[in-house]
Amino acid sequence: MGVVVIFSAAVHAEESSPRHLLTGTWTLLRAEILKPDGTIVTDPAYGPDAKGLLIVDGTGRYSLQIFRPGRPKFASGDKTRGTTEEYQAAVLGISTHTGRIVVDTVHNRLIFQIDHAAYPNWEQTEQKREYDFRGDELTYKVPPVAGGTSAISVWRRAESPAAPPSSRIDPAKSLDLAVTSLERQLVPLAEAMPPDRYTFAPSSELFRPEVPAGYTGVRTFAQQLAHLIQTNNALFLGVRGQKSDANFAARQAAIGALTSKGDLMTALKDSIAEAHSAVATLTFDNAWEQAGRDPQFTRAEEVAHAVAHAMDIYGQLVEYGRMNGVVPPASRK
């Protein structure tokens, strides 16, 4: 039994978590058991055709249900007059709970803050699960129980119904998809780079002597990330229709001086959270208001500018990672 997650920055001050990645409706693909020897089998509690539905809202609240199809009906036709076997099958063949969900990207675990559950021992508790999130598929694993087995649940995002041709899409929702796409690729890559390689920068020594290469002054991985964060902060300030001031300039300067992975990861996640927050201020009325340095720039254009610039830097960071044996998480199979 377990839960899926919405990434929310509102919980745990020490964790600046990405937001909105799992908002929507999810359906269960499989309910499985991982044995101590590494083999994976169908979870007998729910059977090979397990059904499940998860709904997550934009604030991180969720409702989850998993059911075993074909549970025996009560012969009496009255749920207050079932047999011991009927009650047992009804209870063991379901998992339902509601609450709030967050993700701890540092320790790669989901944290389920459960308010109400079919299993009463879970109510008002936190349940933690290891997870793997790839595209529109999420897998999480329950800690081993007696005997060493672990339950695994695999979910897929349900397709959203197509909008009518004449309908207008909220610019905040539409443009937030671009920020989310960037976030899904950039944050895991920065996490994957070892701390001691944040000082790495390409040099001519890495190439064959006959290959001309001018690498004087090339930024390190840390400097590239700091530059990306600073640019994001400046452009999303424009998305809000705001101008830089002395305090903002001081914060930008402090980011430029960061060198450690821990500090830069915190600054990156804060920057991504601010990007989501800034995009959420866009409306049909203000999305095309002038913003930024050019008279033709608009708030919406600043979002496109920020994502395009960040993806340019992301491509360079991918090469930095590969030069250090790091396969970008977004490219892993």
Q: Both 146 and 31 in a single domain?
A: yes
Cβ-count burial of 24 within 10 angstroms (0-12 exposed, 13-18 middle, 19+ buried)?
middle
Q: Please say which residue of 157, 181, 211 terminates a domain.
A: 157
Q: What is the pLDDT at residue 206?
A: 65
In this structure, the answer to whether residues 80 and 125 fall within a common structural domain is yes
Q: Per-residue confidence of the chain (333 residues) as pLDDT tens digits?
A: 443 333 333 333 333 343 446 778 999 999 999 999 999 999 999 999 999 999 888 788 999 999 999 999 999 999 999 999 999 999 999 999 999 988 777 788 888 899 999 999 999 999 999 988 877 888 999 999 988 999 999 999 987 666 566 678 889 999 999 999 999 999 999 999 999 999 998 876 666 666 666 667 789 999 999 999 999 999 999 999 888 999 999 999 999 999 999 999 999 999 999 999 999 999 999 999 998 777 888 999 999 999 999 999 999 999 999 999 999 998 875
- Minimal CA–CA distance to 269: which of 5, 8, 2? 8
Give the DSSP H/E element, type plus range, for residue 226: helix 221-239
What is the pLDDT, as a whole number, of residue 210? 63
**What counts of helices (H) and strands (E) characterise the chain?**
6, 9
- Position 34 scores a pLDDT of 94
Domain ranges, residue 308: 171-331
| Per-residue pLDDT, 135 | 74
Per-residue pLDDT, 113:
94
Q: pTM for the whole thing? A: 0.54
Q: Are residues 95 and 142 in the same domain?
A: yes
9 in a structural domain: no
Asked if 23 and 58 touch (Cβ cutoff 8 Å), the reply is: yes
Residue 6 lies in a domain: no
The answer to the question of residue 120 being in a domain is yes
Q: Are 153 and 2 in contact (CB under 8 A)?
A: yes
CB atoms closer than 10 angstroms to residue 314: 20
| Residue-level pLDDT at 166 | 60
Looking up residue 43, the CATH number of its domain turns out to be 2.40.128.280
- Of 75, 110, 109, nearest to 90 by C-alpha is 75
Domain boundary among 99, 133, 157: 157
Q: What is the pLDDT of residue 292?
A: 73
**Does some domain include residue 19?**
no
Number of domains comprising the chain: 2
Strand partners of residue 31 = 153
Residues 189 and 243 in one domain: yes
Domain membership of residue 5 (yes or no) is no
18 within a domain of the structure (yes/no): no
